[in-house]
Structure 1
Amino acid sequence: MGDIRTETKRQPQTRVMLWSTPRALSTAFLRSIHTLSNAEIFNEPYVTAWHFGPQRKYKPNKLIVFLMGCEEKYSYEWVKEQLEKDFPGKDVVFCKDFGYTIDGNWEHIPKGYKHTFLIREPAKVMKSWKERINCGPLPGMGLIWKRSVSFAMPSGYMYKELHDLYFHLLETTGEDPLILDADDLLADPKQMMMKYCQAIGLPYRDEMLNWEPNEKMNWNVAYSNLIADKIMGWYSDAMNSDGLRQKLVRTKVDIKSLPDDVKEVVKFVQPFYDAMYKRRLKLDPDTEPATLEKGALKDQNKNGYIFPEKKDNEDGRGH
């Protein structure tokens, strides 16, 4: 009697959209997904369409156009076509983007994707956004301009648009999109990544929590996004990190210490965040961290990334 051989069937391809806001750890999350083998990664194609494409909603000034150019092929129709292409041999197709960039263009949401959301407390997001748009990584940028927190934002300050997108998908897809909170993710990265992967059909691996620093990722990303990162450092922390660091204490931003423009925006968007937060994927009760009301822990990286340990040369000098 001959050998009985069984054929291993290839798992069906999983396609996932991660919708978020800036400064919500979304790039670090994408780095985590990148550790999966056979994954096709898209980074912010709708951001490019909204800011730099032919149908752009944001009108950049001449300096920005000179530095970054315009992405004339990045129409909403073209982005949708790219995301809906066949990707033979890929187990995962994953796209990270910002919800406000698809607002008013819901007909261009790609078909065949599971939709997920990554949210973060508005005070933390807006504080970080304000600091980034006024300083960035270049010396002296803060002396050149003083921008309001609303700079380059849509009318709903990103949170209303994200909220509206979630409920649009809830009503039209027949599925309840998964919501993950960034602070929950940092409170227990392994637990939350395992829950996320299980819920949407991705294979979880412990390697998703750690990665090698690398600023040149093999992702589908527009040239303008890369130039913006070089100027403003949008992705630099995540790209130079080694993984996600567990934060055992949940910190809170002191709202009273924030500039007035930030306070006003936080007050406006808080209800939209709260509505989504109630529907989030929750931590197990026994792992919920304590809360520190104000400030930040001095011995923890504020973003929750793991940075490479400082090494010493033989003569003791760090490098």
Structure 2
Amino acid sequence: MAEEVSNKQVIFKGYINGYPKESDMILKTSTIKLKVPEGCSDAVLVKNLYLSCDPYMRSRMTKTDHNYIPVFTPALPIIGAGVAKVLDSSNPNFKKDELIWGMTGWEEYSLIKSTEGLFKIQDTDVPLSYYTGILGWSGLSAYVGIYEISCPKQGETVFISAASGAVGQIVGQFAKLLGCYVVGSAGTKDKVDLLKTKFGFDYAFNYKEEADLNAALKRYFTKGIDIYFDNVGGEMLEAALLNMKLNGRIVACGMISQYNLQESQGVKNLFKIVAQEIRMQGFMVSNYVHLFPKFLDFILPLIREGKIRYVEDVAQGLESAPAALVGLFSGHNVGKQIVRLASH
């Protein structure tokens, strides 16, 4: 007989409009058998160790005609990226006690019925939590945006919005390694200080203290912006468009200012794309999974040598997960927001 244990879960209550609230998620305790059921030929039963909180998860809480990712299912656990330990497996490629990262449930234990999209963790000399961020989707997003899409040259100017977040902090450091002039925006003095002192940005500013974002960018980019790495959209994108150089590049990674609006803001100044011959490109990091081995070979030595630094905001315990996710949209987190469930 398989051991049956209690399983604390964060359940998605139902579809929402506007900003998410903690009450949109319900804490529940059920039971689970620590064995893959008969008939599941490509499944793993895992103990979750770390969960990732990411802005894109907000789009999974509203059912619309233009969802770019499957929505959450009411009355079932929230789904997101995480790090876990395999307890049982019906796939010989995933063995008991191996560590993996990929999409899992917001619960203590998860039965993952398909191993597609799961990655074995081979390198454990770095913090396991990094596989929710700098060694996971966040890091790959930064790598793709810089090295595959915008391709900065030495001496070029780079602006990053939401620069202290999971992706922005890595983007800025990549750009500095390439010899660029880098400026980031963030929402608190502490985050601005972090960008300058820990991540090596040339300058940073608190966008909440700026009455005129266009003027702020002109202050830091007197000759214009070569590359804008956009995590925000909205008014910040409008201001950046006014300050782009000829043949500038805009990487659209995310638009957190728009996720909680019932109707997205229109963006002014789009003619600048024509007049300045700007290339603006969005991307879905899931389409670049083939680059993951190359990315790991690139990033791991930089982390080990201290040439890339990373900051996490760690919430303790599954019960803290709803507040951690909601806090993303008020800028509560400093660095990559994760939830720590258990040690391995």
TM-score of the alignment, normalized to the shorter chain, above 0.5: no
- RCO (CA 8 Å, sep 6+): is it higher in 1 or 2? 1
The structure with more strand, counted as a fraction of residues: 2
TM-score normalised according to structure 1 size = 0.32
TM-score normalised according to structure 2 size = 0.30
